[in-house]
Chains A and B, each alone.
Chain A
């Protein structure tokens, strides 16, 4: 491993991930603060050309990245399945023509139930996608309508079965708890449905009321009420216990898998491995530098059109910051913070740098130590932000 005094060269570490952002949706969900826009159908084609153009720009600046093996590809959004099969095909062809793609590449695409049919799903599999992630959120129809989701509970189940039939090996659904007017019974109801579905992965997280969203506006004006903190916490507890009972293993704070069917792409983030991101608002981590693209579709397209990378933020990660990031990212997963891996990467023992913090967190019952690595305890997982923030030095 090669390090200089300020930056860290991590380019030799493992296969990379590749992320493609498709910022379009049929309808924007009221809680969403991601780069996702509705009513932009007229720009889909232009956007796809821009994406392809961005990849060309990237490799002209970083020709060596062509040689790095890529073993996960993730189409996220927005809703990538807003694009036609031909448009998706164009992007995938470009990726394959430029980069070195591993033959066991894990290829995920995000979608919404009710917006794709069996025929479309089958074609996705033909394009090479082997994993699909549905933004189900809940199976409760009242809540879905209120959230401006276009599907209902029945369609959600149907989408999962059709994906299975189309040939997807890995199927994920996203579930949100703490939704407006949601009750503990609703959570239990969701778990009952999950029990019978042919899925092997669940992402679940508590609703965040983000500033600037329509939901935020409604909550501010008291036009909608979200569950109290204590109900929210009970929902969390119910989800955790319920998923465990159904055989889902919590391998990351908000991700649960059956039989090692992890989201291999998302593991790149936690395992501090490089990934490239293309599209409006996409993020990449490459060669010790974190970059992010312009979130807005039009400026993104215009920039790429003029042969200028649409990067709006570049951060060169110092060794100190890399060490901190490495710790709190690793702690999000079941594998935890491994002493040996830390030392292999940074050439210094994690105890030299964070010994006091680790000891204190163990004493407080937030971390557990086992076989050379530290893991969040169940209490620690609940208060992850506190634990993680301890690793950020002055």
Chain B
């Protein structure tokens, strides 16, 4: 089979600009699924994705399309995650395509966040087809948007497709543009097999499943495959394509997109970005671009009920397969018992993983405050990497500490430049450069401590710029900073899971804010609970949760026992999400309190 009639493409769009709706319409129009089988937004299949409207995991679907030239084409739509946290996954998805639809909202125009992915797509030499969506909105202005695409991105927008995915306008034009503009995959059927894993998933019966794009050669149902990053071999048990339901096939030819099941039991053997080759005729080199994702944010994840520890470990193992960027290792906390230290790409990633664990694996979790990875140079010359505040050695053993810095690029309308600078300065940022992208948009670059970004920089940025700013950041290295450990003592006892590492100049303010917040979050109990924030032996803040107040329902009107009972049930439910630490009951939210303080 030749590759001439295959088109592999993805869709790049800003959140809300209609990516999922366009994907749905393409599937519907070509009859890939009957309309009644369509659930709105087929590709975002995880509950969480549908609720948040963001795409977390890449998915793909094969569309058969009979074009105006009379030929039938196989269009493989590869979905890409749409958030800055997931840029590695985006780059792997893009590497599996030859073309991309750039979807821009006809009313809102080009958004800064879209740019990062467009540039990533251009880096992968993809053919980009501009699509202007929502042209039937009263505020639509396709001509202005075309200019924006040309001015801001530098693409020729004269042949941009105008459509409204919601009303089904322009869908055939998109399909024709894909057939005519996206190049067919190069035909390298005769070369030794190389297939890129752009996604993976765990199935309880089939083991790890690799989602691949066959770049060179062919994979057949009876082949033995080899994972090139660790040279492990597996016998293929099943090959499949997505319609979008999985349909078994006998081979995945060059240029095609599909999945491989090969009884891969160990999730670590099926990494996104790795290259699949054949054991009996291996390719000499893997495909370029594989890298282990870099964790930037760490936190502790503990089961609320210690009986769930094993379940949590299984769930993490399965999620890691699905999400190569997740790292974890076992840790223990005096306060919380057995749990895991987990590494994430960013805060959203952390949120998503936590929610998926709770929802898909039905776990109740306690998450500790996120931390970054510090390099601690000890007086004895040793260097320790510390991502858990509880593990920081005593001050006497520390020579100095280095913290990770990022290059943060913010794109904002020019009126907000002052706001950005003020905020970045306040967050210990160092100004680097500023550049006008066009008459209205400015890109501002700062070097910032990563800890400040994960603390509340992003939220502050969003609110200070009314949501107009977009932020992208990359790790640039470590810098020496006077960091100290701040302990939180409840009822006189330090609670390790509440410790944080802070800049020494900010310890007092943050300690006060944290103590105040904890006072709000910790419910009154039978006795008074002092909350203290301490750096070493010095108490920097103190608050008190007063002993509980009178709480008894007296009046019972005309024997309405059911109403009384409902109130008691409500009270009881509130207690369920608490963790007893010593004699104090602490609600789950308290461990994340540091993220909720205002300062």
A→B interface (CB under 8 Å): 17, 19, 21, 34, 76, 203-206, 208, 229-230, 232-233, 236, 253-254, 266, 268-269, 275, 277, 281-285, 290, 292, 313, 315, 325, 328-329, 364, 381-386, 388-390, 392
Contact = CB atoms under 8 A, between A and B. Distances in A.
A283 B559 CA distance: 6
B550 A281 contact: no
Q: Which of B559, B569, B571 has the most CB of A within 10 A?
A: B559
Contacts of B549: 229-230, 232-233
The majority secondary structure among interface residues of chain B is loop
Contact of B558 (A208, A281, A313, A325): A281
A269 B562 contact: no
A364 B302 CA distance: 28
Given A76-B557, A385-B551, A385-B552, 19 more contacts: A19-B559, A21-B558, A230-B549, A232-B549, A254-B555, A268-B559, A269-B559, A281-B558, A282-B558, A283-B561, A284-B559, A315-B562, A382-B551, A383-B551, A385-B567, A386-B548, A386-B571, A389-B571, A389-B572
Interface residues of B, number: 23
Nearest to A265: B559
B554 interface: yes
A124 B146 CA distance: 87
Q: Which of A236, A281, A392 has the most CB of B within 10 A?
A: A392
A392 B567 CA distance: 11
B567 A277 contact: no
Nearest to A32: B557
A292 B562 contact: yes
A328 B568 contact: yes
A187 to B, nearest CB: 14
B558 A385 contact: no
Contacts of B246: none
B561 A329 contact: yes
Interface string B527-559: 000000000000000000000111111111111
A290 B562 contact: yes
B460 interface: no
A269 B556 contact: yes
Given A236-B550, A253-B552, A290 B561 contact: yes
A72 B321 CA distance: 69
Given A208-B555, A232-B550, A292 B571 contact: no
B526 interface: yes
7 contacts: A19-B558, A21-B558, A206-B554, A285-B561, A315-B562, A382-B552, A392-B569
A208 B552 CA distance: 11
Contacts of A292: 560, 562
Contacts of A290: 561-562
B565 A381 contact: no
A92 B65 CA distance: 83
Contacts of B552: 253, 381-385
Contacts of B556: 266, 269
A384 B575 contact: no
Closest 4 CB pairs of A and B: A205-B554, A254-B554, A384-B552, A389-B572
A206 B554 CA distance: 7
A253 B554 contact: yes
Given A282-B558, A290-B561, A385 B571 contact: yes
Nearest to B570: A389
Contacts of B555: 203, 205, 208, 254
B550 A383 contact: yes
A56 B551 CA distance: 41
A392 B572 contact: yes
B425 to A, nearest CB: 39
Contacts of A253: 552, 554
Contacts of A385: 551-553, 567-568, 571
A386 B548 CA distance: 10
A268 B548 CA distance: 31
The majority secondary structure among interface residues of chain A is mixed
Contacts of A283: 558-562
A384 B561 CA distance: 15
A392 B568 contact: yes
Nearest to B526: A364
Contacts of B559: 17, 19, 268-269, 275, 277, 283-285
Contacts of B561: 269, 283, 285, 290, 325, 329
A281 B567 CA distance: 18
Contacts of A384: 551-553
B501 to A, nearest CB: 37
Given A281-B558, A282-B558, A285-B559, A382 B568 contact: no
A382 B550 contact: yes
A172 to B, nearest CB: 13
Q: Which of A203, A364, A385, A392 has the most CB of B within 10 A?
A: A385
A389 B575 CA distance: 10
Contacts of A204: 554
Contacts of A382: 550-552
Nearest to A232: B550
Contacts of B526: 364, 383
B551 A386 contact: yes
A332 to B, nearest CB: 9
B582 to A, nearest CB: 15
A277 B561 CA distance: 13
B529 to A, nearest CB: 15
Nearest to A364: B526
Contacts of A205: 554-555
Contacts of A325: 561, 565
Contacts of B550: 206, 229, 232-233, 236, 382-383
Q: Which of B549, B550, B558 has the most CB of A within 10 A?
A: B558
Contacts of A230: 549
Nearest to A324: B565
Contacts of B551: 382-386
A366 to B, nearest CB: 8
Nearest to B557: A34
Contacts of B553: 208, 384-385
A18 to B, nearest CB: 11
Contact of A388 (B548, B557, B568): B568
A292 B575 CA distance: 29
B553 to A, nearest CB: 6
A73 to B, nearest CB: 13
Contacts of B572: 389-390, 392
Contacts of B565: 325, 328, 392
A370 B509 CA distance: 52
Contacts of A386: 548, 551, 571
Q: Which of B556, B557, B562, B571 has the most CB of A within 10 A?
A: B556
A278 to B, nearest CB: 10
A76 B550 CA distance: 28
Nearest to B555: A205
A208 to B, nearest CB: 7
Contacts of B567: 385
A390 B526 CA distance: 15
Nearest to B572: A389
Contacts of B575: 389
Nearest to A313: B562
Contacts of A364: 526
A381 B575 CA distance: 19
A277 B572 CA distance: 29
Contacts of A277: 558-559
A384 B568 CA distance: 10
Contacts of B558: 19, 21, 34, 76, 277, 281-283
Nearest to B549: A229
A76 B569 CA distance: 27
A313 B569 CA distance: 18
A182 to B, nearest CB: 16
Interface string B33-75: 0000000000000000000000000000000000000000000
A90 B250 CA distance: 88
A389 B568 contact: yes
A62 to B, nearest CB: 17
